[in-house]
Structure formats: C-alpha cells, structure tokens
Copies of this chain bind each other. A is one copy, B any other.
Amino acid sequence: MTAAFTSGYVRGLALAAREAQAAIAMADAETRRALLESMADHLLAGQGAILAANADDLAKAAANGASKATLDRLALNPERVRGMADALREVAAQTDPLGEITRSGTRPNGLVIERQRIPLGLVAMIYEARPNVTAEAAALCLKAGNAVLLRGGSEASASNGAIATCLHAALREIGLPDAAVSLVADTAREHVLELLQLSDLIDLAIPRGGESLIRFVAEHARVPVIKHYKGVCHLYVDRAADIELALGLLIDGKTSRPGVCNALETLLVHREIADDFLPRALDALRLHGVEVRGDEATRGFDPSLAPATDADFDAEFLELIIAVKVVDDMPAALAHIARFGSDHTEVIATTDGAAAQAFVRGTRSSAVMVNASSRFNDGGQLGLGAEIGISTTRLHAYGPMGAEALTIERFVVRGEGQRRHPPMG
C-alpha cells in the first residue's frame, strides 16, 4: 500500500522538520519563551496579509457552497487574530515543561535515578477549517521543544500560508530554523496518506476535526495517533442534587455553545428526584429552544415529547437537541454512560459527597465534573493555556492536551562506575 504514496513530498518536509527539531530542543526556556512572544508580535504585524488571505479563502469556500458553519470556522477578523496572539502569549508565559526532573531516587548500589522531561520530537497536526489551529498547535509544540508538521484543510490554505509566514519570520528573528514549523501546503489527500506512513520520522499524529477525518487518520496511520472521535457528554442528576444548581449545569451545558464537543447531549435523572426536577428541567429546556427526546418515564411528564431511541443516546447532536432518561439509581446511570459514553466528559450534580466519589470512581471518562458544567472540559478553562486537542485515547494523555502532553519522561542514571557483574578478576 505504501508504495503508491511515496511521492516523497511530505517525507522531505518531515525530514527537514525533524532536523530542525534538534535546534528547538536545545534552545533554552527563555529562547523558546521569546520565540512564542515574537510569533504573537508577527501575527499582529502581519494581520493585514492574514486577513487578505482569509478573504480569498472565504470567497472560494462560499463559491464552492461551503456551509455557514464551515464559513464561520474559517473566518478571521482582527479580534480573532488578537485571540491567536493572546493564546500564544499565554503559552509563552507558562512554566517551561522541559528539563524538569519529575522524580529522583537513589538505589541501594548508589545509582541516582532521575526521570526527566524531554520533547516528543516531531508532531503532525491534521486539521480542518480553523486557521487558529495553525498558530496554536505550532506554539504548543515549540514550547515543548518539538517540531510540527501542519496539514490544515484545503479551504484554509491561503490563511494557513499567511499565518505560517508570520511564524517563520519569528523563528528567523530568534535564529531558529523555519522548518521547525512545516506547512504541508499541497493539501492533496495522497499527501496525508504519505504522512501517516512516516513512522520513522513522526512521533505523534493528532487529527482534529469531524469524526470522518479522525476515522480516516486512525484507519490509515502507521504512526501513533491520539484522538477523540466525539463528545457524548452526560449530566447525571443524583437524587441528592441541588435542583437549582442542576438546572444551571443543564442549561449551560446544553445551550451555551451546542456545536462543541463538551456540550451536553444526554441528561440522566435519578428516579427519586424526577418529580421535583424533570418538570422544571423540561420547562427550562423548552424556554431555551431545546428539543427533548425522552424515554418512557420522561414522556410521562410530557407525552408530546419525541421518544428517545438508542441512536439518540449514541448521538453527538451538536445542536439544540437533548436525550433524557430516568434511571433507577446511580449504577444504572453509570451503566448507561459505559454503554453510550465517549470517554469525553461526564457531570454529576449532587450534594452527597459519597455519591460524588462513587460517580468519579465508576466512570472511566477523561474528565469528570462534580457540580460543574461540562463546558469546562477545555484546556484554557482547566489551566493549560491552550490545547492541541482533547484525547479520549487512553494512552499518553487523556483529556485536554497542553504543552506538557507533548513531552515524554526518560531515565537519566548517574553512577560512579557501577556494573551489573562483579569487577573483572
């Protein structure tokens, strides 16, 4: 299979990026901090060129009949460019993730064993229409001493090129190689296939976008992949919930931004609180224009509701629709989440500490919220500054990934000539 895709175009870019990575890894914390600040400066200075390129992308996308949602994701304006620059400055200001000795100890034979954080190496980002990913992914990778290979969507080609030009200017200004941020400018799909085969050069691929992009990457990759397919996030309202608080989490989780992965998709209600909670919840959802699909017990409160099917409980609606189910107890809620959940975000509303503890223990998701909105599962909100993605892959990183998730710990051993076998005779 590989042979068909070895144009060598992406291999050339990856080789150059990998070579450049050594210089990034050797740069000290202050140099990498200054680099990110300079990247932010150059983005602001280059705003005119970026917005002009973006206008070209938008015109082409509109002519190709792109959806309103795609056009919104693609569109830049001065505020969004400033947002990119601000994110870069936030990452720049974070504690340096490299070189840290995470653990150390001494063995009986006197060896000092340290664990030390080092960069992953070369990270490949494969994403869709959002041009801000170009700047933010580059910043997080460079902060952690990595190089990055960026393959954005074809609809954002001009915007990504203009942004990369700014990032390269910053690299040159600081005296680091351009190739540490390498854009796969030719967005033909066979180049993605070639990229995914480069297991000798690429240490990690992170796909970000719709489920079909991510499945395509997972299916074809020979390089390690960290991903999340979708966010089917649950709010479980325990019998001991504070009803006002639970209503707040429900409306915030479902309506504050329904198109994102940390929005709520399913509401599970303990049977003993259903009489008090559900009528008010259904009213509030109606007031906010949310369509409710309910199980039989829920429809007992409002027979006009559409019945919820297994497909509804499995769905990431990404719009103002919610599936609602009444459960007999917490184990039933956890069983529902185990069956339909996506390991993304689960929320419990309860005033009972033991129930909260049991819920946290009973779910394997990457983020569990006790009396807090699902919408907080986001790198910025959790204090990571920015995120390169959210992992629901139970390996390496789980949940939002910041700069530290782009490092690895290795062993450094310091001795005085210790050998496994006795000295030579």
Main secondary structure of the interface of A (DSSP, over half): mixed
Could you tell me if B411 and A256 are in contact, using CB atoms closer than 8 angstroms?
no
A413 with B107, Cβ < 8 A, contacts A395-B203, A408-B395 known: no
Contacting B at CB under 8 A, from A313-336, are: none
A368 with B411, Cβ < 8 A, contacts A120-B395, A424-B284 known: yes
- Bound together, the chains give a CA A206 to CA B249 distance in angstroms of 41
Task: Name the B residues within 8 Å of A382 (CB-CB).
Answer: 107, 113, 411, 413
Q: Is A309 an interface residue (CB 8 A)?
A: no
Could you tell me if A111 and B252 are in contact, using CB atoms closer than 8 angstroms?
no
Task: Name the B residues within 8 Å of A242 (CB-CB).
Answer: 417
Contacting B at CB under 8 A, from A376-413, are: 376-377, 381-383, 393-400, 408-413
Could you tell me if B411 and A377 are in contact, using CB atoms closer than 8 angstroms?
yes
Q: Is A34 an interface residue (CB 8 A)?
A: no
Q: Is A118 an interface residue (CB 8 A)?
A: yes
Per-residue CB contact flags for chain A residues 360-386 toward chain B (1 = under 8 Å, else 0) read: 111011111111110111000111000
Q: Is A204 an interface residue (CB 8 A)?
A: yes
Could you tell me if B410 and A399 are in contact, using CB atoms closer than 8 angstroms?
yes
Report the interface size class on chain A: 35 or more
Could you tell me if A372 and B111 are in contact, using CB atoms closer than 8 angstroms?
yes
Per-residue CB contact flags for chain A residues 45-84 toward chain B (1 = under 8 Å, else 0) read: 0000000000000000000000000000000000000000
Could you tell me if B413 and A372 are in contact, using CB atoms closer than 8 angstroms?
yes
- Bound together, the chains give a CA A373 to CA B417 distance in angstroms of 7
- Bound together, the chains give a CA A118 to CA B365 distance in angstroms of 10
Could you tell me if B248 and A417 are in contact, using CB atoms closer than 8 angstroms?
yes
- Bound together, the chains give a CA A418 to CA B409 distance in angstroms of 34
Contacting B at CB under 8 A, from A169-220, are: 199, 203-204, 218-219
Q: Is A420 an interface residue (CB 8 A)?
A: yes
Q: Is A339 an interface residue (CB 8 A)?
A: no
- Bound together, the chains give a CA A338 to CA B204 distance in angstroms of 19
When C-beta atoms are compared, the residue in chain B nearest to A19 turns out to be: B338
Could you tell me if A395 and B111 are in contact, using CB atoms closer than 8 angstroms?
no
- Bound together, the chains give a CA A93 to CA B362 distance in angstroms of 26
Could you tell me if A368 and B413 are in contact, using CB atoms closer than 8 angstroms?
yes
When C-beta atoms are compared, the residue in chain B nearest to A120 turns out to be: B394
Per-residue CB contact flags for chain A residues 215-259 toward chain B (1 = under 8 Å, else 0) read: 000110010111000000000000000101101110110001100
Q: Is A415 an interface residue (CB 8 A)?
A: yes
Contacting B at CB under 8 A, from A271-298, are: 284
- With beta carbons under 8 angstroms apart, the residue of B224, B248, B364, B421 that contacts A419 is B248
Could you tell me if B248 and A424 are in contact, using CB atoms closer than 8 angstroms?
yes
Among all A-B residue pairs, the 8 with the closest Cβ atoms: A372-B415, A252-B419, A396-B396, A245-B417, A375-B420, A256-B421, A367-B411, A399-B411
Q: List 9 A-B contacts (CB under 8 A).
A: A25-B364, A113-B383, A204-B394, A224-B395, A256-B421, A368-B411, A371-B417, A375-B420, A382-B411
